[in-house]
């Protein structure tokens, strides 16, 4: 029973990070129908920029409180990622908006690898220790079930950011413009929406979420390196598809479900396969879910049918 509860806790923590990243994929897909491959790498850029800022702050003001340091580094990482996403959209994706479908996708793959290479040049190939500014001493709310303060923070921050995003999209004028653009670019433009600006903004919003996700991810595991964004990015994309791509609620649900499946899978795979497979196969769950969802229910849990739109 304790193991079961523990897996739920682990799944929720990982799942809420996936959900945050998945929102970025789903927003861009909803508006442009483009899988922004490079989105996962923004997670990495966010984490490494924050790391750089923390190093700087530790050198300048060694006595600074951990919370202030974390906030300041987030305040640096978020704008950096936003700017990067804006540049990416402007230089690589906008010129290809009316090109054949494969062109922007191939460009996106290229951008993803370019970001990783640049990160490799700036920060090197090594794994960096990421300062765990929020305590990682496990608490025991129930006997035998452990949760660390950083994990609690991750769940709360993700929930807050998701709530904020939903409010932004459903309640504000900007959100209405975003939904209109997703529905139909041209008509939205005729109604006076600056669709170019809205599209750029969608990228930028997603990047902000990715930056936060990156910092939380790195804080949880205590490491950061240039390739850390790729796998979570793919998994977050899977989460977006699982929930129904283009659907905000779906991305969050998909993220949580994927996180839970993964942690239960990793926990129980050894029993299920009689010891033949072990937890090093954890990564295949996401891909198997992706394949199964696309084959049997391409609409995802909450979305409309899109697999033929490609």
Partner 1 sequence: MNELALAVPWLGKRNPLAARWLVIAIAIGAPIVAMMFGRTWVRVLDFALLYILLALGLNLVVGFAGLLDLGYIAFYAVGAYTAAFLASPHFDVHLPIWIVLPLAACFAATAGITLGFPVLRLRGDYLAIVTLGFGEIVRIFMNNLNYPINITNGPQGINSLDPIMLFGWDLSRNIQVTEDLAINSLFLYYYFFLACVVGSIIFIQRLQISRVGRAWAAMRDDELAAKAIGINTRNMKLLAFSLGATFGGVSGVLFGTFQGFVSPESFSLMESIAVLTMVVFGGMGNVAGAIVGAIILSALPEILRHLAVPVQNALFGHVLLDPEVLRMLLLSLAMILMMLLRPSGLIPANAKYSHIRYLKAKGVTE
Which positions touch partner 1 (CB under 8 A)?
A: 34-35, 92, 95-96, 99-107, 109-114, 116-117, 120-121, 234, 237, 241, 275-278, 280-281, 283-284, 286-288, 290-291, 294-295, 298, 307-308, 310
Q: What is the Cβ-side half-sphere exposure of residue 36, based on CA atoms within 13 angstroms?
A: 38
Least distance (Å) between residue 34 CB and partner 1:
8
Closer CB to partner 1, 101 or 171, in the complex: 101
Name 146's bridge partners.
none
SS3 140: strand
* HEC sequence for 193-250: CCHHHHHHHHHHHHHHHHHHHHHHHHHHHCEECCCCCHHHHHHHHHHHHHHCCCCHHH
Using a 10 angstrom Cβ sphere, with 0-12 exposed, 13-18 middle and 19 or more buried, the burial of residue 64 is middle
For partner 1, which is the closer residue by CB, 38 or 134?
38
Residue in 30, 36, 26 with CA at minimum distance from that of residue 105: 36
Q: How far is the CB of 84 from partner 1 (least distance, A)?
A: 15
CB 235 within 8 A of CB 15: no
- The answer to whether 81 and 210 are in contact (CB under 8 A) is yes
Q: Smaller CB distance to partner 1: residue 28 or 180?
A: 28
Three-state secondary-structure class, residue 129: strand
Are 34 and 102 in contact, with CB atoms under 8 Å apart? no
C-beta of 292: minimal distance to partner 1 in Å? 9
Q: Give me the least distance between CB of 250 and partner 1, in Å please.
A: 16
Q: Which of 145, 241 has the CB closer to partner 1?
A: 241
Which CB sits closer to partner 1, 124 or 144?
Answer: 124
Rounded to a whole number of angstroms, the minimum distance from the CB of residue 10 to partner 1 is: 20
Residue 149 vs 298, nearer CB to partner 1 = 298
Task: Single out the residue of 52, 94, 105 nearest to residue 76, CA to CA.
Answer: 52
Q: How far is the CB of 185 from partner 1 (least distance, A)?
A: 18
């Amino acid at each position: 029973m304790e193991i079961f509860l523990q897996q739920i806790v682990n799944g929720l923590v990982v799942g809420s990070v996936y959900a945050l990243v998945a929102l970025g994929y789903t927003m861009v897909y909803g508006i442009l129908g483009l899988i922004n491959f490079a989105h996962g790498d923004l997670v990495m850029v966010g984490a490494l920029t924050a790391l750089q800022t923390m190093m700087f702050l530790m050198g300048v003001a060694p006595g600074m409180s951990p919370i202030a340091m974390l906030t300041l580094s987030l305040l640096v990482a978020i704008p950096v990622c936003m700017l990067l996403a804006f540049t990416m959209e402007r230089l690589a994706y906008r010129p290809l908006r009316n090109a054949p479908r494969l062109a922007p996708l191939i460009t996106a793959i290229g951008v993803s690898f370019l970001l990783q290479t640049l990160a490799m040049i700036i920060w090197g190939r090594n794994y960096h220790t990421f300062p765990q500014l929020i305590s990682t001493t496990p608490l025991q709310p129930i006997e035998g079930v452990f949760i660390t303060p950083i994990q609690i923070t991750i769940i709360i921050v993700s929930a807050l950011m998701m709530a904020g995003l939903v409010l932004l999209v459903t309640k504000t004028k900007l959100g209405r413009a975003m939904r209109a653009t997703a529905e139909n670019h041209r008509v939205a433009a005729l109604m006076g929406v600056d669709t170019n600006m809205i599209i750029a903004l969608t990228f930028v919003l997603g990047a902000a979420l990715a930056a936060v996700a990156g910092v939380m991810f790195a804080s949880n595991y205590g490491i950061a390196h240039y390739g850390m964004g790729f796998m979570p990015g793919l998994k977050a994309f899977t989460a977006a598809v699982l929930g129904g791509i283009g659907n905000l609620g779906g991305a969050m649900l998909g993220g949580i479900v994927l996180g839970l499946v993964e942690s239960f899978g990793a926990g129980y795979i050894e029993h299920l396969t009689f010891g033949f497979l072990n937890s090093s196969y954890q990564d295949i769950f996401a891909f198997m879910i992706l394949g199964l969802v696309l084959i049997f229910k391409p609409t995802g849990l909450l979305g409309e049918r899109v697999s033929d739109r490609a």
